[in-house]
Amino acid sequence: LLYLFGYIAYFLPIAFPYGVWLLTKHHDEEEFQYDSLVWRGLGFLLALISSCGLAALHYPHLYTEAPYSGGGIFGTAVALGLV
């Protein structure tokens, strides 16, 4: 995950359980809305990819062992499109 998402990968073990908790918090509703789940998932993916791009622009190679910048592979691809 570190190579794909860069330093943002350290946030993922916190973000996924929190998202699952938010989904299951309102389990007493009668009907589960799948369209809301799709839009929230799409928004999370866009926020993840854009944060990887910003991390790649803000944290260039901090240490020499990593083949990619602070944003990982996705961040490098997005940063090349931004610059």
Q: What is the pLDDT of residues 45-79, one digit of tens each?
A: 999 999 999 988 888 776 656 677 788 888 888 88
Count CB atoms within 10 A of the CB of residue 58: 13
Residues in the chain: 83
CB 3 within 8 A of CB 65: no
CA–CA separation, 41 vs 62, rounded Å?
Answer: 31
Q: What is the pLDDT of residues 3-58, one digit of tens each?
A: 888 888 888 899 889 888 887 776 666 676 778 788 888 999 999 999 999 988 88
Over pLDDT 70: what percentage of the chain?
84
Handedness of CA 39, 45, 1, 18 (dihedral sign): negative
